[in-house]
Structure 1
Amino acid sequence: MGGRFGLSDKEWAMIEPLLPNKPRGVPRVDDRTVLNGIFWVLRTGAPWEDMPGRYGPRTTVYNRFVRWRKAGVWERLFQHLQSDLAASPYMIDSSAVRVHQHGTGAKKGDSETEETGRSRGGLTTKAHAVTDRDGRVAALKLSPGQDHDLAATYDLLDAVPADTVLIADKACDADAFMDALAERDIRPNIPNRSNRKEKRGFFPSLYKLRNAVERFFSKLKHCRRIATRYEKRADNFPAMCQLASARILMRS
């Protein structure tokens, strides 16, 4: 049952123990079939209404996706798969996600929680990630598209082990950020800004390893539901990102 969309037996064995207990005496679509439908939507980017009937009623698949999100299934799966990350160095970066017109229309006052914002590319959400040297994601966070990268980067540092080299671009070359790294015993390998008076040590050969986090974003955006944001709900889009990241981890 593997293939492009469906779960392999190995992947199903990882997810099944995390699912809530099935209600007794109630006929229902098989959980594995529903998961395959969720991954079909995630990979193709198609509307839930266009999901093939072989996965069950689209309302059943969508409702179970939301129910499992509320139960913390996607977050637990994401965290469970991070137990086998590689050692130093780690990388941090961000990537913009264009928001489709169907991903807009939040209730008044909810725009901040939806993590959307208007930048030069239009309405966007920014995804921030920390990966190990093999491109396996350690943490993921979303922010409005117009926010500076550093605003969200601080929140990702808890995923970086102490006594680790962290590779990042010039956007992270700020004194306050360097202080935050020092407090956590994290060693930066970040290019110096041209206006920095006291230059820090920087190793260009080590910096080349940063393409690991770029490869992660490339794989993440193979899922068209992530490459373009269609979810207007602030809680559903992060869940899609967690699920896509978990799929990458399961297959790496």
Structure 2
Amino acid sequence: MRHDRRQHRQGSPPRTGRKRGTQSQAIGRSRGGITTKIMALADAVGNLTDFRLLPGQAHDLRGTGALIDGLTCGQLLADRAFDADWLREALTGAGIEPVIPPKSNRRFPAEFDRETCKWRHLIENLFGRLKEYRGIAMRCCKTDESFSAFIALAATVIRLR
């Protein structure tokens, strides 16, 4: 009598083919539940210029490299989550002044322009205007392509107002 060991292994059977699911849909689990982060670039008047979607549990710096490639501006305003030496060096190397407040646990805090930093409220206002659309606030779209298209459409409508 032949005994097949594979039938008595613990766990699920071995997978065949590619794994389907939320891996590429920018959906992640965080303390608030299933979430998606929108990393956005805004111009000087608070209009959306570019954005990336990240899973909710991903750190903010994870999508920053792709977002700042080829960026041409005088200053980049960001919050404390973006306080990283490599980001400051990349921005300075591109001729962009980083206006990023240092984290509280930094041994040698970096200098930043406090008056210019007060204009970060334009970015927060942008997110507030985007979240007026229920589909963006609740992430009603299943795929990241359709969610990105909805964000782009809402940003266009906001810009035309």
Which one scores higher on RCO, CA 8 angstroms, separation ≥ 6? 1
Distance in structure 2 (CA, Å) of the matches to 1:201 and 1:175: 12
Instruction: Give 1:81-92 correspondences, 5 Å limit.
Output: none
Could you give the per-residue CA deviations for residues 127-153 of structure 1, whole angstroms, max 9, x where no partner exists? 111111210111111110000001112
* Unaligned residue ranges in structure 2 (runs of 5+): 1-17
2:94 to 176, 184, 200: 184
Superposed, which structure 2 residues align to 1:36-55 within 5 Å?
none
Q: Which residue number in structure 2 is paired with residue 227 of structure 1?
A: 137
User: In structure 1, which of residues 123, 146, 158 is the aligned counterpart of residue 57 of structure 2?
Assistant: 146
Greater C-alpha radius of gyration = 2
Deviation (angstroms), 1:159 = 6.2
Give the one of 109, 115, 139 matched to 2:20.
109
The structure in which a higher percent of residues are helix is 1
Residue among 32, 37, 42 paired with 1:121 = 32
The residue aligned with 1:130 is: 41
Counterpart check, 1:248 vs 2:158 = yes
d(CA) in 2 for partners of 1:180 and 1:246?
A: 30
Shift of 1:195: 2.8
- Name the residue aligned to 1:194: 104
Alpha-carbon distance, 1:160 to partner: 3.4
Whether the aligned pair in 1 keeps the contact of 2:99 and 2:117 (CA below 8 Å) is: yes
Q: Deviations over 1:41-85 (max 9, x none)?
A: xxxxxxxxxxxxxxxxxxxxxxxxxxxxxxxxxxxxxxxxxxxxx
Secondary structure of the residue aligned to 2:69 is helix
| 8 Å contact from structure 2 (residues 47, 126) kept in 1 | yes
Whether the 8 Å contact between 1:135 and 1:216 is mirrored in structure 2 is yes
TM-score, reference length from structure 1: 0.54
Structure 1, unaligned stretches of length 5 or more? 1-106
- The DSSP-based 3-state class of the residue aligned with 2:86 is helix
Residue 229 of structure 1 aligns to a residue whose secondary structure is: coil
For the residue of structure 1 that corresponds to 2:144, the secondary structure is: coil
**Alignment map for 1:56-67 (pairs within 5 Å):** none
For 1:193 and 1:167, the matched residues in 2 are separated by 15
Counterpart-to-counterpart distance in 1, 2:109 and 2:141: 43
2:53·2:144 contact (CA, 8 Å) conserved in 1? Answer: no
CA distance in 1, matches of 2:95, 2:153: 31
SS in 2 for 1:243: helix
Of 195, 200, 205, 2:115 maps to 205
